């Protein structure tokens, strides 16, 4: 189910580093990082599948959609 609503306190980090941030109440975040080489953002939130998105100098504003984890027995 895609609600396009921001997730509060989702974790956003640069893959392979300790650089990261949490999203605000609107699902927005800011990370300062050198984009001379593209970086991979890892976005995670409890109950959702992790997502990875590549960012670069030409792509600094992104929308990330997470899928809910479905548990069956």
Euclidean distance between CA atoms 61 and 40, whole angstroms: 13
Condensed to tens digits (0 to 9), the pLDDT of residues 6-17 reads 899 999 999 999
Contact 24, 31 (CB under 8 A): no
What pLDDT, on a 0 to 100 scale, did the predictor assign at position 60? 77
Contact 10, 44 (CB under 8 A): yes
Condensed to tens digits (0 to 9), the pLDDT of residues 7-57 reads 999 999 999 999 999 999 999 999 999 999 999 999 999 999 999 999 999
pTM, rounded to two decimals: 0.87
Contact 30, 62 (CB under 8 A): no
């Amino acid at each position: 189910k895609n609600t396009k609503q921001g997730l509060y306190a989702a974790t956003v980090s640069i893959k392979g580093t300790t650089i990261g941030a949490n999203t605000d109440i609107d699902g927005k975040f800011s990370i300062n990082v050198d984009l001379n080489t593209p970086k991979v953002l890892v976005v995670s939130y409890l109950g959702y599948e992790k997502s990875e998105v590549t960012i670069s100098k030409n792509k600094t504003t992104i929308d990330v959609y997470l899928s809910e984890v479905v548990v069956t027995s």
